[in-house]
């Protein structure tokens, strides 16, 4: 890696935004996208995410966002705005998805780089940082299911296998070939 690439990777740059579109107290961080997520397997669109794992009571497990805290959690699969996520490659050359939660003003999903779990960034930032770049990796030997892998951390979206209950945690974990990391995107 060249010194210039390393320096650009280490320095936060205020993002270019249309005048007045970003509040004065919001800083948008950008860094060069250095990876290519490959050919997107799903078209851009609004999806719900259903795990191959089940809740402890046998119901289907989907990702939902707690509308009070913004925390990602496990809930039974319901067609409500807090369980809708917009996956978009936006025609970007890296072919990576950005995942925006419909209910919370389209905030983008990040890898949780500032702590445990997932974070969301302001929708006006449209950051091009690896933390908001996600790849859908076909689950091995499980047609129709994917691992959702973050390009910065290399971690996958995971339903806490020790607590498969409503309001259980959804966290980034090391990618493994396990049901609680296999997700079906459906509309």
Q: What is the per-residue DSSP string for 35-81? A: ----S-SS-SEEEEEEEEEE-TTS-EEEEEE-TTT--EEEEE----G
Alpha helices (H) in the chain, listed in sequence order? 3-10
Q: Is 82 helix (H, G, I), strand (E, B) or coil?
A: helix
* CATH code for residues 3-186: 2.80.10.50
Q: pLDDT class for 112, splitting at 50, 70, 90?
A: low
Confidence of residue 105 (pLDDT cuts 50, 70, 90): low
Higher pLDDT, 167 or 92: 167
| Cβ contacts of 53 within 8 Å, gap of 6 or more | 61, 159, 161, 164, 178, 179, 180, 182
Which of 100, 95, 87, 88 lies closest to 35, judged by CA? Answer: 95
Q: What is the pLDDT of residues 57-66, one digit of tens each?
A: 999 999 888 8
More confident: 178 or 113: 178
CA–CA separation, 26 and 156 (whole Å):
28
Q: Are strands 45-54 and 60-65 parallel, antiparallel or unpaired?
A: antiparallel
Per the model's pLDDT, the better-predicted residue between 119 and 185 turns out to be 185
Each residue of 118-161: pLDDT tens digit? 555 444 454 445 667 888 999 999 999 999 998 878 889 998 87
More confident residue, 11 or 104: 104
Q: Which residue has the higher pLDDT, 74 or 112?
A: 74
């Amino acid at each position: 890696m060249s010194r210039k690439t390393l320096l650009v990777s280490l320095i936060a740059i205020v993002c270019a935004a249309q005048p007045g579109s970003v509040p004065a107290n919001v800083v948008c961080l950008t860094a060069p996208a250095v990876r290519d997520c490959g050919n997107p397997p799903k078209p851009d669109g609004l999806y719900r995410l259903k795990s191959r794992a089940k809740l402890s009571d046998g119901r289907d497990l989907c990702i939902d966002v707690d509308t009070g805290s913004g925390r990602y959690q496990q809930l039974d699969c319901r067609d409500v705005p807090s369980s809708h996520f917009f996956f978009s490659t936006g025609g970007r050359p890296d072919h990576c998805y950005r995942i925006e939660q419909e209910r919370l003003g389209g905030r983008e999903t990040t890898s949780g780089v500032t702590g445990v779990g997932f974070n969301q960034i302001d929708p006006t930032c449209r950051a091009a940082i690896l933390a908001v770049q996600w790849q859908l990796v076909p689950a091995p030997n499980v047609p129709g299911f994917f691992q959702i892998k973050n390009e910065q951390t290399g971690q996958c979206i995971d339903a806490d296998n020790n607590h498969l209950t409503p309001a259980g945690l959804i966290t980034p974990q090391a990618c493994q070939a396990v049901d609680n990391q296999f997700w079906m995107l459906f509309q």
